[in-house]
């Protein structure tokens, strides 16, 4: 297989995996945390935030594009107004806020592109930078587009808290799952 074909296949796979898993976790989160909604587009615990960061850390730009596509369709066919401008903006912010956080962390925290030196302090920095970018950009967009009950500092803070808590919870679940798998493997051997 040629290098170009392998690279293209890898990018398409990353995009598809990102779009599918993000959409699936979005709807699971909506079901699990329906009582924790602060306002339209803002939840006190938002597990997909952690997945957005995770997918862009692993897949880079294809991951971000997959999230953009999924987020656009989720917004357009969900509770947001059926306005292409609003939904395209939401999609772009959803995919590129974690990607920009990734670039910022790679350039300022000495994180290697293959994530080999990722540790808890660097991961926490990623989460905080991402949550600040995402909540600020989303609420600014909501305000600029004139969405009702959106764009205030209370909305920014609630979204920031939801993104941080969701990211930490998702990472904890992933870590627990990996540790459990490791124990099962050791028991089977």
| CA pair distance 89, 25, nearest whole angstrom | 20
Query: Average pLDDT over the chain, rounded to whole?
Result: 90
Tens of pLDDT, residue by residue over 97-155, are 999 998 988 888 887 777 778 888 888 888 999 999 999 999 999 999 988 888 889 99
Q: Tally the domains of the chain.
A: 1
**Does the pLDDT of residue 164 top 90, yes or no?**
yes
| DSSP-assigned states of every residue in 36-75 | GEEETTEESS-HHHHHHHHHHHHH-HHHHHHHHHHHHHHH
The neighbour count for residue 107, using CB atoms within 10 Å, is 9
What is the pLDDT confidence band of residue 1, given thresholds at 50, 70 and 90? low
Q: Could you list the residue range(s) of the whole structural domain that residue 141 is in? A: 3-188
Q: What is the mean pLDDT of residues 52-72?
A: 94
- The percent of residues in the chain predicted with pLDDT above 70, rounded, is 99
CA–CA separation, 189 and 177 (whole Å): 18
How far is the CA of 14 from the CAs of 86, 97, 179, in angstroms? 25, 17, 25
Which pLDDT does position 122 carry in this prediction? Answer: 84
Asked whether 69 and 22 are in contact (CB, 8 A), the reply is no
Q: CA–CA separation, 28 vs 20, rounded Å? A: 12
DSSP lists the bridge partners of residue 42 as 39
By residue count, the chain amounts to 189
Whether 49 and 146 have beta carbons less than 8 Å apart is answered as no
For 74, the token pair is 């989720």
Predicted confidence band at 165 (pLDDT cuts at 50, 70, 90)?
Answer: very high
Binned at pLDDT 50, 70 and 90, residue 48 comes out as very high
Contact 59, 17 (CB under 8 A): yes
How do residues 22-44 score in pLDDT, each as one tens digit? Answer: 999 999 999 998 888 888 888 99
- For residues 38 and 155, is the Cβ–Cβ distance under 8 A? yes
Percent residues over pLDDT 90 in the chain: 58
Look at residue 49 and tell me whether its pLDDT is greater than 90: yes
Rg of the chain over Cα atoms, rounded to whole angstroms, equals 17
Q: Which residues contact 21 (CB under 8 A, 6 or more apart)?
A: 51, 55
User: Do 66 and 14 contact (CB within 8 A), yes or no?
Assistant: yes
């Amino acid at each position: 297989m040629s290098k170009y074909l392998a690279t293209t296949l890898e990018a398409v796979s990353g995009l598809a995996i990102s779009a599918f898993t993000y959409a699936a976790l979005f709807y699971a989160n909506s079901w699990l945390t329906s009582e924790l909604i602060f306002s339209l587009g803002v939840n006190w615990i938002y597990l997909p935030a952690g997945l957005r960061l995770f997918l862009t850390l692993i897949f880079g730009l294809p991951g971000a594009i997959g999230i953009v596509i999924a987020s656009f369709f989720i917004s357009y066919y969900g509770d947001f107004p059926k306005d292409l401008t609003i939904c395209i903006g939401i999609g772009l912010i959803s995919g590129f806020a974690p990607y920009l956080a990734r670039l910022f962390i790679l350039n300022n925290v000495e994180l290697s592109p293959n994530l080999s030196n990722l540790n808890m302090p660097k991961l926490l920095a990623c989460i905080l930078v991402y949550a600040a970018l995402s909540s600020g950009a989303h609420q600014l967009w909501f305000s600029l587009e004139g969405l009702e009950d959106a764009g205030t500092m209370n909305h920014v803070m609630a979204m920031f808290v939801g993104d941080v808590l969701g990211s930490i919870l998702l990472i904890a679940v992933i870590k627990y799952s990996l540790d459990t798998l490791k124990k099962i493997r050791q028991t089977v051997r």
